[in-house]
Amino acid sequence: MPILKDVGKKLRALANPITVVWYATGSCSIIDTVYNGANITPNGSYIPSDPNWDAQAGTVPTCAMPAGGVPPDMGIPIVFPAACNSAVIPPTTLGAIKGPVQSFVFAVPSASVATAISAEEAYLVFGFGQNGKVSPWINESFYFVRPATKGTQVSLGAIIDVPAAKWKGVRLDQSTAVASSLATASSPDQAIGILGSEIYDSSGNRAALRALTFEA
């Protein structure tokens, strides 16, 4: 989202302006919508015409889609289609273009004593919760994760061998909610979450959070 907003603001400022309108959802939902030619019906967000609009901190306006919705011109998932459905076959009318590499982090509040996590520890934490007995992460109500269709959880789940649908913890729809929940957790030592690195880098999150060193 931070990249899309920055690019969208530049496109809106062109001599022949282009207004980017989008609907934010999970990577697997994006792939399903584009591959199956489904229409987008929920309200969309868009880049405003105000040249002073702050692409990262400004309020993003919304608009209603036309009756019946509109087909997407482009989908931007952060995983390969096979990560959501190994049997999926792209229609011949679609092109799949690789974009920049997306990185992810395991994050904790800056007040946490934790500085690192291994793949084995992450497997026990997110796969078994409190029964994994990995200190200090022994309270599942302080695991802030994502729904199973989100690319962050799909990708990190593949790395630690925990399928996205089987993660323990509180599932939050937006990465910004994960960051906020971590930053304000009443028990910072027990709190842990997952974020795309661009979210960790934005809106002052680096001051409130710490990305854990990861041992694969």
In a domain, 161, yes or no: yes
- 124 and 72 share one domain: no
Domain of residue 182, CATH code: 3.40.190.10
pLDDT in tens, 34-70: 988 899 999 999 999 999 999 988 899 999 999 999 9
| Cα separations in angstroms, 7 against 11, 61, 63 | 6, 16, 19
In a domain, 128, yes or no: yes
d(CA 104, CA 149): 16
In a domain, 14, yes or no: yes
In a domain, 91, yes or no: no
Task: Tell me, rounded to whole angstroms, the distance of Cα 134 from its chain centroid.
Answer: 25
pLDDT in tens, 73-130: 999 999 888 888 766 777 888 888 888 888 999 999 999 999 999 999 999 999 999 9
In a domain, 99, yes or no: no
- 74 and 132 share one domain: no
Nearest 10 degrees: CA dihedral of 50, 51, 56, 60? 10
Residue 91 is predicted with a pLDDT of 81
Residue 85 is predicted with a pLDDT of 77
- 36 and 110 share one domain: no
- 135 and 210 share one domain: yes
pLDDT in tens, 149-204: 999 999 999 999 999 999 999 999 999 999 999 999 999 999 999 999 989 998 78
Query: Long-range contact list for 203-209, CB < 8 A, 24+ apart?
Result: 203/56, 203/57, 203/176, 203/179, 205/179, 207/110, 208/109, 208/110, 208/179, 208/182, 208/183, 209/107, 209/108, 209/109, 209/110, 209/179, 209/182, 209/183
d(CA 213, CA 122): 12
Considering 84, 117, 143, which residue would you say is the last residue of a domain? Answer: 84
Range with the poorest average pLDDT among 2-11, 78-87, 94-103, 207-216:
78-87
In a domain, 144, yes or no: yes
- Domain enclosing residue 37, as ranges: 2-84
- What number is the average pLDDT over the span 210-214? 97
| 3-state secondary structure (DSSP) of residue 114 | coil
In a domain, 19, yes or no: yes
